Structure 1
Amino acid sequence: MIRWENRSKVKKAGLIALTCGMLFLTACGGKKDSGSYDVISQKRVEEGRTAVTVLVKYAFSINSFEKAVEEKFPDIDIVQIGNYTPDMGIEEYSRRLEHDDLTDIVMTWPLDVGEEYWADRLLDLSGEDFTSRYKLSILNSISRGGTLFYLPGPSQVRGILYNKTLFQENGWEVPGNYGEFVELCKTIEASGIRSIQLGFENSEVLNTAFTGFNFGSCFSRPEDQQWIANYNKGTGSFGDHFGPALDVFQQMTEEGIWKPSDLEIEYSKRETMLYARECAMVEDSALLARRGHEISKMGDEFALMPFFNPDSSNDWARLYMVCYVGVNKHLAEPENQDKYGQVMKIMDFISTPEGQEAMMADTGAMFSCLNDVDLPDVPEIESLIPVLRAGRYAVFGQLEHAQEALEEGLAGMLRGEKTKEDVIQMVDKQNKEPVHKADPEIYGTAASDFTLMQTGNFVTDAMRGQSGAEIALFMDNGKDGLYNGKGLSGRLYKGDVTNVDLKCILPDLKSPDTGEMRVVKITGENLIETLEKSIVVENQSGWFYYFSGLSMNYDPTAEPGKRIGTIQTADGKAIDKEKVYTAAIMDTTVPESFILESESTGMTVYDVLVKTLEERQTIEPEEDGRFTVRQGLY
């Protein structure tokens, strides 16, 4: 049978059998006035198991964790729901919090998204016994006024990742302090190889350089944290506390460790440079060290060293939190008692060494926030073990109001256009007069909340209408840990539809994807083959499409080739396998070998949605039954 996630705020638990033969997985929510929210799962769920939905953070899966949970608790079935949208999924998660549209468990990053909604949307976990297993310092850093809405997931341990083989070949030693690190960089530069490359084209990485080499001096002590908290409230001048940190950044610039040309290097490029021996060091984790060893043409080995700060015993490791884990507050309501018990079993499991290990398996994380858990025995971080044992590790933070000014100022210092005093003035000004985000641009209005399928219908109807094609196809982003990054994962909500809303429903495209809408010619036979198999990658079973101009009976959990029960055009005609149809698609979402001709429309799918909204002004969910999911195709 097929199970769907119902996040439509229907306050029931269990499975609701519908007359059309579909089964919906019920998650918790606060509204009673809407229909099913149809997130399609691509796997079959056994009778007698409780399906627990998990919203999985951007570009991330929990496949090993899912397997471990289901083996330990045979009465639980994990259904992953991914948010793979632009802005690292942050705006989408914020929208979900705002509209009370959460799965049973949420995994998110960064921490502070939608903080104004936490008390109304997330369960306070502070009274649960399993919280006593975590390091108190970590819990204190993420709690709010005595309440704890998230558990800290495991972390990647990050530091300065260096080419160990290259170091050995050249007789370069891992330094023991900041002064030795500076001298090492100068020695490497003199050899004709770039010493360290962080990829400052992404301005946020400037914060890594600024914070990493100054953490012990300016961030690590309780008095440092108190000063920063006061500064975020408008007290003091940035230079009073961070003047020495700016001096360190300036020194590293003058010594040629940071270069103006670094501002033109993309973040991903620094990884390529490391593997090609164009630079000797970057900032990253053991996960990248292992990957580098696997793909290095010369069989190079890589390892990590700490960030070195001025003064003695001031070497630090960076913790990069994989995720924070919260629970839907509606689970605590009496009618959700059974599922609440199942979810609490999972949260308790997360809070054990076994559960932490399961979460780490998918992410390359290796540091647990639990008490009494051994440090990882991983050769790539051998130089970091003394640092970790001494407790010199931390999550790198940012200024609350003036981070943009700081990054702009650091870039200016790097170019030689800004002085230390200029940066202090810039940061102080923005801290007292924060830059507010521009109001979203409104394109139209949604008359009511859309389900995910109804959102897909809107997208494909818009594509078909603007292109004049007979058919339109748009991919789903995948479920159950099978994400393709080319489709839909978010939905539209009642009210204004803005530029932010459109970004929340469209995918985070990666090269060579452009988001362009194209009109292609495809035979009926290959159209059916496309709908059956989608884009199959690395032996995965593919995904499915939302569509316009068709009507289809479909089982997404069946093997590719056995998914379609019946299919016809919107006017009720059977698909002619010999006929050539025109179809509006987003580039790279249909197998190239099936395309007979392809014509550019000169519009992206985003442009298409904007134009459609501006023309129609008010949009309503389509209830035409074009996409029916059925059981028992085998």
Structure 2
Amino acid sequence: MKKRVISTLMIMVMLFSLAGCKNNENDNRVAITMYLWDKSMSRELTPWLETQFPDIDFTFVVGYNTMDFYTDLNKRGSLPDIITCRRFSLNDASDMSDMLMDLSETDVVGSYYDNYIENNRETGGAIRWLPMCAEVDGYIANVDLFEKYGIPLPENYAEFAEACRRFDELGLQCYVNDYREDYSCMEALQGCAIPELMTMEGIMWRTEYENENLDVQVGLDENVWPAVFDKFEQYMKDTMVEPEDVEMSFEIMKSDLVEGRAAIMRGTANDCALLRKEDNINTVMLPYFGETAKDNWLLTYPTCQVAVNRNVEQDEKKNAAVMQVLEAMFSEEGQKHVAVDNAVLSYNKNVNIEINDVFSQVLDCINSNHLYIRLASAEMFSVSKNVVQNMISGEYGAEEAYQDFHTQLTTVREAETSEYITTQSTGYAYDFGENGSGAASAVINTLRKQCGSDMAIGYSSVVTAPVFEGEYTRQQLNWLVANRESMRSGQITGSEIKLLMEWLVNVKQDGSNPIRHENFIPVTSGMEYALTDNGDGTYTLGEITVNGKLLDDHTVYSVAIFGDMDYIEAPFYCNCPMPEVLEAKMKAVDTNVYALFNSALEGGNPFEIPTEYVTIKR
């Protein structure tokens, strides 16, 4: 089956550069646009990169963690310079291959252990995606529970199965997994049989699968995968899986471990570290077990994968700058800034990330490079969930599961017809100029009109791309609005609006800066304002006007604000909590922002026209 729905190419009259207007004749700085798989990359990495490269004009955009999002940007002719994505596989990314730089001859590639980078090599030899440091998935053991009942921590599969039996006799669960989630189903299926998947036959099958194309759909092989399903069937029996476990959530699984009802849960090394820190549980990581300790493996996945737009090669100066940025990101210091305080490992030879104490029981796996990278195509997630949950529910056994999985991989399904919500006749650039972003203004103006407020404010990066000329489906409209947008609304005076804008603009007494990057300058609708660029990455609020007249302090306005609450308020991001007087009046609204945006455009309605909402004095 085709891994992506291939939609009709959009006819475009104008293409918009994501960062073009920043680099003019009087500015020798190189402009680089980098899309982040999640806002977590802005905790330490993006500020560090700006410090490392003061001559680079960065635009950091929090995109969506799916290859479909980037495939769509590619078809619209608007890939950023640097791309990051966590949910990744080569076949999911194949549509973009011709638009991405081959990094196989770069110094960065030479820093990897061969077996990790080979997973990203295309059949022609090109390497277009680089894995960032490894998130580690395995078993989290409650050590105190094992000691309480005199059960030794297992070191191989037979001892693991014996521990499960002994805990079951005590009326406790040895192992719990949140089988409700697609990634947990996929990781359990692959994790229990990593030795089989890492045989030469398994590696050859994976290479073939990862490099399939439209003409060749690769199903499961007849040697490795039947053994995988046989192992998983036995695994379910040994871990006492029950049909109701298909509804097991992470929260229930975690509480079972914390409250002593279970001895082991599936989870990441970071989950393990947080259980120690926040719940005071004596936890350690255990591997996915093989027949002997030498066959044990840790299942890993990159914090994100990184690629570079091939168009970068056309500009020698930008190309050199991007290579420097990559080298910095994949250096020891760079990966530490990506990981922040998470318990991660590195796929690179010369990167020494301090081994967290939670890894004390799996050092043999780490030292022998027994770090399996999960196979994580979009269909692997969905098909694994479907088949594993059917096995858990008793719908079928190993043989039927193998056949069903194979059939789902190889069945060519008709592409779903996407209904177009609207057709936009005018495009608006993403670029943040002296009077703001046209694309962001169009989105906020549209949202304000739909919710009927006098004013609307977007207080973080509210859009992910230009507003393109052409047709939009519901999914494409959702992707245009930044992830995790929420809404607050209230009636406040002009003086309180000034306080609100000061909160979103001015540096606080403790040094907290709500505008960490230029594209986080507030986007307003129904009012205009002035900013002074202080030249050091900070801004100061100036006059606020409504239709050219100064904002009246006493007039009451209905105001809607949109944005990611965590980004602006959390201590490890901007650390700028909303003033209490505003928090009391600006209440959270139980409204789906994406549905609100779609409803404004349904039936072919155009985006509202952008306005020049900000004037920046430099």
Give the TM-score band, short-chain normalised.
0.7 to 0.9
Q: Secondary structure at the match of 1:134?
A: coil
Alignment partner of 1:439 out of 414, 417, 423: 417
Shift in Å, 1:316? 0.8
In structure 2, the CA distance between the partners of 1:350 and 1:527, relative to structure 1 (3 Å rule), is closer
One-letter amino acid matched to 2:246? L
* Partner residue, 1:541: 513
* Partner residue, 1:579: 555
* Partner residue, 1:123: 101
CA distance in 2, matches of 1:425, 1:115: 26
CA distance in 2, matches of 1:90, 1:557: 38
Calculate the aligned-residue CA RMSD, in Å. 3.7
Shift in Å, 1:214? 0.9
- After superposition, the C-alpha distances for 1:397-444 in whole angstroms (9 at most, x for unaligned) are 147756534421211121223333432332232223144563333110
One-letter amino acid matched to 1:56? L
| Structure 2: runs of 5 or more not aligned | 1-14, 431-436, 516-520, 566-577
> Aligned runs of 1:381-460 on 2, under 5 Å?
381-398=359-376, 404-435=382-413, 438-452=416-430, 453-460=437-444
Q: Secondary structure at the match of 1:245?
A: helix
One-letter amino acid matched to 2:500? T
Shift in Å, 1:548? 1.7
The yes-or-no answer on 1:270 pairing with 2:258 is no
CA distance in 2, matches of 1:461, 1:624: 8
Shift in Å, 1:159? 2.1
CA distance in 2, matches of 1:372, 1:562: 40
* Partner residue, 1:44: none
Alignment partner of 2:500 out of 500, 511, 530: 530
CA distance in 1, matches of 2:318, 2:217: 45
* Partner residue, 1:495: 470
The question of whether the paired residues in 2 share the 8 Å contact of 1:76 and 1:342 is answered with no
The question of whether the paired residues in 2 share the 8 Å contact of 1:177 and 1:310 is answered with yes
| Structure 1: runs of 5 or more not aligned | 1-5, 18-22, 24-47, 478-486
Alignment partner of 1:463 out of 447, 451, 458: 447
CA distance in 2, matches of 1:57, 1:602: 26
In structure 2, the CA distance between the partners of 1:361 and 1:184, relative to structure 1 (3 Å rule), is same
> Aligned runs of 1:239-388 on 2, under 5 Å?
241-296=224-279, 299-310=280-291, 313-333=294-314, 336-361=315-340, 363-367=342-346, 369-371=347-349, 376-388=354-366
One-letter amino acid matched to 2:473? T
* Partner residue, 2:490: 520
* Partner residue, 1:147: 126
CA distance in 1, matches of 2:443, 2:523: 8
The yes-or-no answer on 1:222 pairing with 2:200 is yes
CA distance in 2, matches of 1:78, 1:300: 45
* Partner residue, 2:167: 188
In structure 2, the CA distance between the partners of 1:83 and 1:112, relative to structure 1 (3 Å rule), is farther
Shift in Å, 1:177? 1.2
CA distance in 2, matches of 1:577, 1:507: 32
Shift in Å, 1:575? 1.8
CA distance in 2, matches of 1:140, 1:560: 40
The question of whether the paired residues in 2 share the 8 Å contact of 1:203 and 1:407 is answered with yes
- After superposition, the C-alpha distances for 1:237-276 in whole angstroms (9 at most, x for unaligned) are 6665423322332233334443333322333553454344
In structure 2, the CA distance between the partners of 1:549 and 1:361, relative to structure 1 (3 Å rule), is closer
User: With structure 1 as the length reference, what TM-score do the two structures score?
Assistant: 0.79
Shift in Å, 1:450? 2.5
The sequence identity of aligned pairs, in percent, is 19
* Partner residue, 1:57: 37
In structure 2, the CA distance between the partners of 1:615 and 1:462, relative to structure 1 (3 Å rule), is farther
Q: Secondary structure at the match of 1:607?
A: helix
Aligned residues: 572
Shift in Å, 1:143? 1.7
The question of whether the paired residues in 1 share the 8 Å contact of 2:174 and 2:239 is answered with no
- After superposition, the C-alpha distances for 1:425-477 in whole angstroms (9 at most, x for unaligned) are 32232223144563333110122432333333233222332233211233323
The yes-or-no answer on 1:158 pairing with 2:137 is yes
In structure 2, the CA distance between the partners of 1:235 and 1:112, relative to structure 1 (3 Å rule), is closer
* Partner residue, 2:605: 617
- After superposition, the C-alpha distances for 1:14-67 in whole angstroms (9 at most, x for unaligned) are 4456xxxxx8xxxxxxxxxxxxxxxxxxxxxxxx76564432222421554456
In structure 2, the CA distance between the partners of 1:100 and 1:170, relative to structure 1 (3 Å rule), is farther
CA distance in 2, matches of 1:234, 1:84: 29
Q: Secondary structure at the match of 1:383?
A: coil
